[in-house]
Amino acid sequence: MNPVRLIGRLVIALTRQTGRVAIFAGRGLAGIVPLQPDLLLRQIMQIGWLSLPVVGLTALFTGAALALQLHSGGQRFQAGDVVPAVVAIGMARELGPVLGGLMVAARVASSIAAELGTMRVSEQIDALVTLSTDPIRWLVSPRLWAAALTVPLLVGVGDIIGIMGGWLVGVNVLGFNSAAYLSNSWAYLESWDVVSGLIKGAVFGLIVALSGCWFGMHAGGGAAGVGRATTNAVVGASIGILAANFILTGLFF
């Protein structure tokens, strides 16, 4: 096959698929009006509250491990005292949003894709359409908005827990003074470091829910199709988070 023609076909297919996903996301975000508080609150509990333990544990061990690595590496350059500041900045800017988003993707994207995929292959979504009910409004919109609203909160809590994990290791293992450690953490942490991480969290939450809803709503082929949709949702959300993180980091810093 002509390689130029093949490249053209790939570009057209990619552009067409991007447009479909963008239209799907736009319909999902717009479908929240009029607001349905019961559906939104239910998804906030499922996506936000139930994800708190895994995000908190991930942040705790990440902050602790980061403190150990920074102290060990910093001693080579007589820079071991920068541990508190770098842990705080690293958690707020990068590790908190990215790891929190990936943990939510592993838990939430798979759950959404499995639930909606099962509804698709069992024709429950077709039944909603038959009853003149918009499945986007009832199934997609609450999940998109709940994820966009709750993941920044999870990121903020994860930042605090991660910094506390570094503080625990710094004080009990590395010999830092507790008051000096906390003072250095807050002295070098700027408000934009925290705000940028929260903005990333909102974008990552939207990516997670969008990936789960898209692959779930387009699942097919019985149980095997639901399994493929679940796998693709997690992979798509993870890659989307890492790509969006690179773009947002370049824009913010």
**Total number of domains constituting the chain:** 1
At residue 33, φ and ψ (nearest 5 deg) are -100, 125
Q: What is the pLDDT of residue 2?
A: 83
Asked if residue 17 belongs to a domain, the reply is no
Asked if residue 191 belongs to a domain, the reply is yes
- 3-class DSSP state of 38: helix
- Per-residue pLDDT of 175-211, as tens digits, reads 888 888 888 888 888 899 999 999 999 999 999 999 9
Mean pLDDT for all residues in the chain: 91
Asked if residue 26 belongs to a domain, the reply is no
Q: What is the pLDDT of residue 132?
A: 83
Residue 100 neighbours by CB under 8 Å, 6+ apart: 55, 58, 59, 151, 154, 155, 158, 201, 204
Rounded to a whole number, what is the distance in angstroms from the first to the last CA of the chain?
44
Asked if residue 48 belongs to a domain, the reply is yes
pTM across the whole model: 0.91
Which structural domain, as residue segments, surrounds residue 77? 31-252
